[in-house]
């Protein structure tokens, strides 16, 4: 408790915030910051502001004491807003990435020599070792349709994993048109090149998805979307289940890509198609198991590899009765 008090004071002084009231201490323990600001690291003091700290310390005592949550930017501290600088930085960033793109083209696919890319048998695609890794993911829940589930994403202990946690609630929103509710999802952002060009992953030399996760026993669904230019195909995805064990031990989940089944607009189709791996856009984890209550999923990394023992191309058959068009 004393440590928290000291940390709080330290944080607030450096950020020129008023001291939090004593009454707010019990609340701070349960106050989870959102994913972008969950570490207890003290921000490094800005050199320009160091000299003015001593002056403001005296002022702080006289300030009206307010509830301030950890790590949220203090209202007094206004961030520097410079439109020109922001535009220049953005342009510089994009041109830098374009230059890297062109230089990498000479080296080989994805900036590595061709033989290295061809000989690769395992690749870690997403790992969670810092804040910037969390920025590659979007967390959604049925709040978008008016439901009451909540989902958050933050870095786990020692910055070695990501923790997706929250509460699932299957109370349907009372808007007259939704009959079901209660889902949370974590979806990866589509990879972008210079000038926000859409890129895609090419996993055609791999055949299995590898996930190192630690869950709470809930069944999750892994969804993969392909890169497409047609609007109608944005609703199509390939899914499979991931059953978590919920123990203290990490779980290695290996899902071959041949097992993924096709669904369109959330419905599994009679006509099943193979997941083609040369233009993968994003992967997502969804929880919608109709069980209300808290959940969590800790993810260490997500990778793809070639399993030489797995020779299946596609696990599902199409039926001539249900889909005669496919057999004409």
- Residues in contact with another protein by the rule CB under 8 A: 105-106, 108-110, 114-115, 117-119, 202, 204-205, 226, 228-230, 233, 236, 262, 273-274, 276, 278, 306, 308-309, 311, 325-326, 328
Residue 9 or 236: the one with the smaller Cβ distance to another protein is 236
- Shortest Cβ distance from residue 320 to another protein (Å)? 14
Smallest gap from Cβ 121 to another protein, in A, equals 8
Contact 174, 270 (CB under 8 A): no
- Closest C-alpha to 171, from 194, 147, 154, 136: 147
User: Could you write out the three-class secondary structure of 33-84?
Assistant: CCHHHCCCCCCCCCHHHHHHHHHHHHHHHHCCCCCCCCCCCCCCCCCCCCHH
- Between 13 and 125, whose beta carbon lies closer to another protein? 125
Work out how close the CB of 205 gets to another protein at its nearest, in angstroms, rounded to a whole number. 5
CA distance 11 to 25: 14
Q: At what angle do helices 2-14 and 47-62 cross, to 10 degrees?
A: 120
Q: Which of 249, 257, 291 is nearest to 273 (CA)?
A: 257
CB of 238 to another protein, least distance (A): 10
Nearer to another protein, 89 or 278 (CB): 278
Q: Closer to another protein by CB, 152 or 203: give it.
A: 203
Q: Smallest distance from the beta carbon of 267 to another protein, in angstroms?
A: 15
Can you tell me the distance from the alpha carbon of 99 to that of 86, in angstroms, rounded to the nearest whole number?
Answer: 20
Alpha helices in 108-197 (DSSP H): 114-119, 131-134
Instruction: Look at the block and give the residue holding tokens 């395992």.
Output: 122
Show the CA angle centred on residue 222, arms to residues 144 and 154, nearest 5°: 60
Closest separation in Å from C-beta 117 to another protein: 7
Q: Which is nearer to another protein, 56 or 228 (CB)?
A: 228
Return the number of the residue (77 or 278) whose C-beta is nearest another protein. Answer: 278
Range 262-267 contact pairs with CB under 8 angstroms and sequence separation of 24 or more: 262/236, 262/237, 262/238, 263/236, 263/237, 263/238, 263/239, 264/235, 264/236, 265/235, 266/235
Q: Work out the number of other CB atoms within 10 angstroms of the CB of residue 282.
A: 20
**Closer of 63 and 105 to another protein (Cβ):** 105
Q: How far is the CB of 126 from another protein (least distance, A)?
A: 21
Q: At its nearest, how many Å lie between another protein and the CB of residue 123?
A: 14
Q: Where are the beta strands (DSSP E) in 105-245?
A: 122-127, 137-141, 150-155, 162-168, 184-188, 208-214, 219-226, 236-243
The secondary element (H helix, E strand) that includes residue 278 is: none
Q: Cβ closer to another protein: 113 or 217?
A: 113
CB 258 to another protein: min, Å: 14
Nearer to another protein, 159 or 264 (CB): 264
């Amino acid at each position: 408790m004393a440590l928290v008090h000291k940390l709080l004071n330290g944080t607030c002084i450096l950020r020129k915030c008023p001291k939090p009231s004593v009454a707010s201490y019990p609340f701070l323990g349960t106050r989870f910051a959102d994913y972008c600001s969950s570490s207890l690291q003290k921000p490094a003091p800005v050199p320009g502001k160091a000299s003015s700290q001593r002056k403001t310390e005296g002022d702080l005592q006289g300030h009206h004491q307010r509830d301030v949550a950890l790590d949220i930017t203090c209202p007094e501290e206004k961030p520097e807003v410079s439109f020109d600088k922001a535009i220049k930085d953005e342009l510089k960033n994009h041109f830098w990435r374009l230059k890297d793109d062109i230089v990498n083209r000479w080296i080989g696919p994805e900036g590595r020599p061709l033989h290295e890319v061809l000989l690769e048998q395992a690749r870690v695609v997403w790992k969670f070792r810092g804040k910037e890794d969390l920025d590659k993911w979007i967390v959604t829940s049925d709040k978008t349709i008016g439901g009451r589930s909540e989902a958050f994403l933050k870095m786990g202990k020692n910055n070695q994993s990501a923790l997706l946690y929250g509460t699932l609630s299957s109370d349907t929103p009372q808007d007259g048109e939704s009959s079901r509710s209660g889902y949370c999802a974590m979806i990866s952002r589509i990879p972008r090149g210079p000038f926000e060009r859409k890129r895609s992953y090419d996993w055609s030399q791999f055949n299995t998805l590898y996930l190192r996760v630690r869950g709470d026993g809930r069944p999750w669904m892994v969804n993969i979307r392909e890169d497409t230019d047609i609007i109608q195909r944005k609703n199509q995805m390939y899914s499979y289940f991931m059953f978590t064990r919920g123990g203290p031990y990490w779980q290695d989940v290996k899902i071959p890509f041949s097992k993924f089944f096709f669904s369109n607009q959330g419905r599994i189709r009679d006509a099943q198609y193979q997941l083609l791996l040369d233009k993968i856009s994003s992967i997502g984890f969804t929880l919608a198991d109709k069980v209300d209550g808290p959940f969590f999923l800790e993810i260490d990394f997500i990778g793809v590899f070639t399993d030489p023992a797995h020779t299946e191309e596609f696990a599902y058959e199409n039926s001539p009765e249900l889909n005669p068009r496919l057999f004409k």
